[in-house]
Amino acid sequence: MKYARARRYFCVKDYPANAIRNISLIGHGTSGKTTLVESMFHQMGALERLGRVDDGTSASDFLKEEIERKGSVSAALMTADHKGKKYNVFDTPGFSDFIGEVNGALRVSDSALVVVHGTSGVEVVTEQVWEICNENDVPRIIFINQLDKENTKFDAILDELESTFGNTVAISFPVDAGPGFSKIVNLLTMKVLAFKDGKVTSEELSGDLLEKAEGMREVLVERAAEADDDLMEKFFEAGELTPEEIELGLRKGIVENALFPVLCGAAYDGVGVSALVDFIGKYAPSPLDGPPQTVTNKNSGEESELVCDPAGPPVALVFKTTSEAHVGEMSYFRVYSGAFKSGDELLNVNEDNSEKLNQMYWSMGKQRNGIDHVTAGDIGIAVKLHDTFTGQTLATKANPLTLLPPEFPEPIIRAAVISKNSGDEDKISSGLTILQKADPTFNVVHDPELSQMILNGQGDAHLTVVLNRLKDRFGVETEMIKPRIPYRETIKSSGEAEGKHKKQSGGRGQFGLCVLKVTPAQRGEGYEFLDEIVGGSIPRQFIPAVDKGIRESLEKGVIAGYQVVDVKVHCIDGKFHAVDSDEFSFKIAGSIGFREAVKKTKTAILEPIYEVEIKCPQ
């Protein structure tokens, strides 16, 4: 198997913040994100050979699970230089099970490239990742991909994008989409671009293509003018803008999320890809275009704004943590201020512990390039930090500033985990706890009610990947089974019984007797204890013990071992012994009386009710 190999000389110089493009490729699975990343970096000269997802040779899908699944499960960082700009590109998963990887990548990206399938259009995850961008105010560019397939529908998808998201504007459109597709019309240059064998040639527009292009360009110019008041005024007066003014309006509209440009092509054959790369370099926001970061001083608790300044205090956010054999822990971080150099003594502000930067890298998927510093706006990888994980901030003791971590989704699915080998339970629990620090989108808890270890995550595939990583890293084999169902017991009628505890074994004995009546409560009311003792048949100091005994039986259940809910217990009578009675005796009597009273009622088993939120594409 031949892998797409990176050239060893990528990105070896310093880049000012305005020359850096941090961008995440996001979208529904099968829209072709990984193939597009591969094609982009091949076009930029950073990959010698073009890898393929189906062959397991793509540079950004290098994990074992990705090669087996033929799809991304992790956000891979790819880095390259193109025309004096540094591209930090994240290839993110397109399935909801791994949506947390998208959250992490978008937290440190200055823009997103939304990849849309040329036949399927807007899909479930397309809307899901778009909403994440809305929540984080991330500027977006759209690329309609795979226009070399049968039954493509560019114009219909363009309309769908506008009706679903709004403020979209076409930058290019295909010529003869479908099998054999090789040309696009660039509305900025008003030229036909032909792509063949990795080369691009330009042709003049004519006939129907020219008429269509002129109509679409009018919309483009108008949208660019709307992004700036001065441009709008000139557009009303002159009816046209210069190329420089169009560029100004487009870039401002993109940075301010006022418009979303739409480009097109076919990544597999490289159609439209070089035009996309150039568009990102020219129009996508740099780290200087984003808003200041909100930081909190850990010592004073004061909030302030942090701007992207290489001369500012060193502050970086760790947004992703992985582990690799023969390498160890790898912490992906973005520097928001200052510069980080090999040998620096830093502070993990969240944990209040010191960390030393030793080896640092830039990344090209699995391959990495050693570096000695990372400056404001850029992204790097630190190796073997001792106790720093996803979502934590690295700074200095002089300026202990914390950044807001990525917002990860709450788990939505769960499974019980059992060990295949006896005695591995503690290793499973501790291993999953360590993995959770790197992947906050899952958690593990021991459910005392079910007596099971419960793994909560984003989906079946996510949980499978987590357990595979547990096996690879800690050498423990597990199996997922369905969790036991947490049924509830309740009563539908009244019942009355005596609870008696008597024990005599020489010396002081034990004695407690209570008469209890149980009645149904309204659904959701829970448990209520009613003290109806008169005449001192049970001394006041022993009444709480009766209640305590009942509560213990509530948790253990009476009929099927499930927790009893929605019941009222009336303590109506009892007896005591002046010498032998104590709290323990009445606690046992309360437990016995409750169980016997419930057995005299009509009982019922309640099934759990779950609230489920379902999202469907429009």
Q: 69: pLDDT confidence band, cut at 50, 70 and 90?
A: confident
> Do residues 89 and 44 share a domain?
yes
Question: What pLDDT, on the 0 to 100 scale, is given for residue 177?
Answer: 95
Q: Tell me whether residue 267 is exposed, middle or buried, using C-beta atoms within 10 angstroms of its C-beta: 0 to 12, 13 to 18, 19 or more.
A: buried
**Helix (H), strand (E) at residue 463:** helix 460-474
Maximum CA pair distance of the chain? 112
Residues above pLDDT 90, as percent of the chain: 81
- In this structure, the answer to whether residues 141 and 274 fall within a common structural domain is yes
Q: Which of 43-52, 258-267, 431-440 has the highest mean pLDDT?
A: 258-267
Same domain, 492 and 579: yes
Residues 102-124: what's their mean pLDDT?
96
Q: What angle do CA 182, 184, 185 make, to 5 degrees?
A: 155
Give me the pLDDT at residue 1, please. 36
> pLDDT tens across 14-24, in order?
899 999 999 99
Domain boundary among 481, 515, 533: 481
Whether the predicted pLDDT of 49 surpasses 90: no
Are the beta carbons of 43 and 270 closer than 8 angstroms?
Answer: yes
Q: What is the mean pLDDT of residues 81-89?
A: 95
Residue 550 parent element (H or E):
helix 543-556
User: Is the separation of the CB atoms in 526 and 550 below 8 Å?
Assistant: no
Sign of the four-CA dihedral 203, 206, 208, 213: positive
Tokens 């309740």, residue located: 490
Residue 432 pLDDT > 50:
yes
Residue 2 lies in a domain: no
Q: In terms of Cα–Cα distance, which of 406, 363, 405 is closest to 383? A: 363
CATH, residue 446:
3.30.70.870
Decide if 421 is inside a domain. Answer: yes
Domains held by the chain: number:
4
Query: What CATH number is associated with residue 116?
Result: 3.40.50.300
Domain of 562 in residue numbering reads as 488-605
Comparing 33-37, 325-329, 389-393, 397-401, the range with the smallest average pLDDT is: 325-329
Report the CATH number that the domain containing residue 392 is assigned in CATH.
2.40.30.10
Do 254 and 315 fall within a single domain? no
Is the pLDDT assigned to residue 4 strictly greater than 50? no
Pairing relationship of beta strands 168-170 and 293-297 according to DSSP bridges: unpaired
pLDDT the model gives residue 101: 95
Secondary structure class of 281 (helix, strand, coil) = helix
Domain end point (choices 458, 481, 504): 481
pLDDT tens track for 163-222: 999 999 999 999 999 999 999 999 999 999 999 988 999 999 999 999 999 999 999 999
* β partners of residue 415: 455
Amino acid at position 610, single letter:
Y
Q: Picking from 237-241, 286-290, 306-310, 485-489, which range would have the lowest pLDDT averaged per residue?
A: 237-241
Residue 12 lies in a domain: no
Per-residue DSSP letters for 143-190? EEE-TTSTT--HHHHHHHHHHHH--EEESEEEES-STT--EEEETTTT
Whether residue 360 is found in the same domain as residue 321: yes
Q: Let me know whether 501 and 477 are in one domain.
A: no
Residues 473 and 497 in one domain: no
Residues 6+ apart with CB under 8 A from 383: 327, 328, 329, 330, 331, 358, 359, 360, 361
Please indicate, yes or no, whether residues 466 and 496 belong to a single structural domain of this protein.
no
Q: What is the structure's pLDDT at 319? A: 96
Residue 10 has pLDDT above 60, yes or no: no
Are both 144 and 214 inside the same structural domain? Answer: yes
Cα–Cα dist 575/592, whole Å = 15
pLDDT confidence of 308, banded at 50, 70, 90?
very high
Asked whether residue 175 falls in the same domain as residue 324, the answer is no
Q: Is the pLDDT of residue 12 over 60?
A: no
Domain membership of residue 9 (yes or no) is no
pLDDT, one tens digit per residue, over 562-591 is 999 999 999 999 999 999 999 999 999 999
- Boundary residue ending a domain (234, 257, 283): 283
- Residues of the chain with pLDDT > 70, as a percent, come to 97
pLDDT of 11 over the 80 cut: no
Q: Is the residue at 4 inside a domain? A: no
* CB 33, CB 27: distance < 8 Å: yes
Across the range 276-282, mean pLDDT stands at 97
204 and 133 inside one domain: yes
Residue-wise pLDDT for 116-171, tens only, equals 999 999 999 999 999 999 999 999 999 999 999 999 999 999 999 999 999 999 99
* Structure token digits, residue 197: 């064998």
Q: How far apart are CA 193 and CA 204, in angstroms?
A: 9
Mean pLDDT of all residues in 458-467: 94
- Give domain status of residue 399, yes or no: yes
Whether 611 is covered by a domain: the verdict is no
From 227-231, 275-279, 570-574, the region with the lowest mean pLDDT: 227-231
Does any domain span residue 474?
Answer: yes
Interval 536-547: pLDDT, tens = 999 999 999 999
Mean pLDDT taken over the chain:
92
> Is pLDDT of 424 > 90?
no
| 8 A C-beta contact, residue 358 and residue 343 | yes
Say if residue 534 is in the same domain as residue 421: no
CATH number at residue 524: 3.30.230.10
At 352, the pLDDT band (50, 70, 90 cuts) reads: very high
| Contact between 449 and 561 (Cβ < 8 Å) | no
Model confidence at 236: pLDDT above 70? yes
Confidence of residue 332 (pLDDT cuts 50, 70, 90): very high
- Residue 282 pLDDT: 96
Short-list 154, 67, 75, CA closest to 109: 75
For residues 93 and 27, give the distance between their C-alpha atoms in angstroms, rounded to a whole number.
8
pTM confidence score: 0.86
